[in-house]
Amino acid sequence: MTFQPTLAVPTTPADMPANPGSPRPRFAIALGSGGVRSIAALGMVQVLMRHGLQPDLVVGCSAGAMFGALIAAGHDADEAVRIATTLWSPEVTRQRRWRALPQMLWPRLGRFDADFSMRHDHRVMERLRQAFGDMQLDGLPLPLRVAATDAATGGRVVLRSGSLVQALRASIALPFMFAPVMIDGRRLVDGCLADPLPVSAAADAHAVLALGFQAPMPVRINGPSRLLAQVSSSLTNNLMQARLAEASAAGQRVLHIEPPLSQRVGLFDTAAMPYLVEAGRRATEAALPAILALLQRAPQLAVA
């Protein structure tokens, strides 16, 4: 676990709320990528609520955005876990596009382009619509900001308004796996490519509690896919640490929690969801003194 609060609260124009006249968030939670492990956020929020610590902003990236949306929509932990099992599973994410193979082997003949993907998103979109319907980002019980990446520039993008389903679909659009999503003229892909733990999306909050996991490193390198996973995990982990250091240097008040896991959990291991929620509870209870200290030091925050 990491308990490292940092002090002072700067903002940059790109990170300010869409409406400059809107109230400044007091206490935000930031949920990073990490596949099914990100559902530990539900346990974290349960503990916060039990102690009267109500966040007034959720920011999320990739799977963290999906589980954050369940929190922002007002679902309790049991209902959120039930819905989450329909959103994040191999059944949903492994619909192959048979045109993908010839496109990779013969790019010119197969008309390979920036919208290439190895998976269909039909079932993903179906489940997202079932879970969230026509909800809007700025119409949820708890404000939600979704982090994505501009495929053309690699820059961070924070979605604050518009269709919740489209925003979530953009934030999980891992290149090669799923096609990018066009929003406001920008081709958006998975938020983890630019910011695996998007604390910068809550730069205007007085205090941020961040839940983010290191990407798992392969135990053995016995094939090309394992080597690729090692490289990808190394890049993601280094980027997350760099973004946290950037936030600290900029003066954000951030406390990062990474629940320790005693068992290895696969990316789509939905059977582990109850275990992960409990891990989130335990880690938050352990970090409670640091959380209270963080909030007590933040201006305009009163902790009961």
pLDDT tens-digit series, residues 48-80:
999 999 999 999 999 999 999 999 999 988 898
More confidently predicted of 158 and 84: 158
Closest CA to 41 of 179, 190, 144: 144
- The answer, yes or no, to whether residue 113 has pLDDT greater than 80, is no
Closest CA to 36 of 93, 71, 84: 84
- The answer, yes or no, to whether residue 300 has pLDDT greater than 80, is no
Torsion over CA of 111, 228, 241 and 25, rounded to 10 degrees?
40
Q: How far is CA 5 from CA 144, 209, 212, 243, in A?
A: 23, 9, 15, 14
Residue 289: its pLDDT value, please? 96
- The answer, yes or no, to whether residue 224 has pLDDT greater than 50, is yes
- The answer, yes or no, to whether residue 15 has pLDDT greater than 60, is no
Identity of the amino acid at 252? Q
Residue 228: its pLDDT value, please? 85
Residue 156: its pLDDT value, please? 96
Of all residues in the chain, the percent with pLDDT exceeding 90 is: 57
- What domains appear along the chain, each with residue ranges and CATH number? 23-296 (3.40.1090.10)
Of all residues in the chain, the percent with pLDDT exceeding 70 is: 88
Residue 121: its pLDDT value, please? 84
- The answer, yes or no, to whether residue 304 has pLDDT greater than 50, is no
Q: Report yes or no: 283 and 31 within 8 Å, Cβ to Cβ.
A: no
Residue 90: its pLDDT value, please? 72
Residue 10: its pLDDT value, please? 31
The pLDDT of 275-295, averaged and rounded, is 96
CA–CA–CA angle 173, 175, 177 (5° rounding):
75
CA–CA–CA angle 267, 112, 169 (5° rounding):
40
